[in-house]
Amino acid sequence: MAERVVHHGDGIAFLERGPLAADHAIVTSLPDHSELPDLGVDGWRRWFVDTVGLACRSVADDAVAIFYQTDVKHDGRWIDKGHLVQCGADTAGSSLLWHKIVCRVPPGTTTFGRPAYAHLIAVSRTRRLAPGASTPDVLPALGTMTWSRAMGAAACEAAIKFVASIGARVVVDPFCGLGSALAAANAHGLDAIGVELSRRRAAGARKAIHANG
């Protein structure tokens, strides 16, 4: 039976402890600037890029890190988190394996304040994918969300199926929230390790069940 461990603590400190084993993959979603107000927007941008780089360096050369991120508007201007992920990956020498768009609402729907899509981005330092390993670039729905900042179940499915297909046995989410990625990993027979700063959410992540869509 797949195992799950959730640490109540700081995801940055967890990643700084050293590299992960070769069969580990990271699947995560970094906090928005609204969750780190003391940094200010510019400070948060630097933190975001640095943290992506740290996550990319934490996995083995052939392993992958996957980031699920939704763009945000500040002062009437969009902040493209997909761009920030790529900037952070570049600092670690990681390359883009795929960049999927996840529809948060049906195509053609006008949204206000938040975009109609999210980014799902996979990077690795040395792994390359054969053309036959391609998967859909656009996911038509986000899937069930356990809370407002969660990865949708369909996005989790896409990420977890991919890491399982390349031989990962353990999924690590250093910002696990209520544990959506961890639950999806367990549902597909992979062990999972999560880190969450909120004691309440960490408790929820230990009990999370994958919604499967």
pLDDT at 150: 78
Task: Please state the domain extents for the chain.
Answer: 4-207
pLDDT at 192: 99
Q: Is the pTM value of this prediction over 0.85?
A: yes
pLDDT at 148: 76
Cα–Cα distance measured from residue 62 to residue 85, given in angstroms and rounded to the nearest whole number: 18
pLDDT at 213: 57
pLDDT at 197: 96
What stretches in the chain show pLDDT beneath 50? none
Average pLDDT, the chain: 95
- When the candidates are 3.40.50.150, 1.20.1250.20, 3.60.20.10, 3.40.50.2300, the CATH number that belongs to 4-207 is 3.40.50.150
Cα-to-chain-centroid distance, residue 199: 20
CA distances from 35 to 32, 38, 149, 175, 197 (A): 5, 9, 11, 12, 11
Cβ 193 vs Cβ 172: under 8 Å: yes
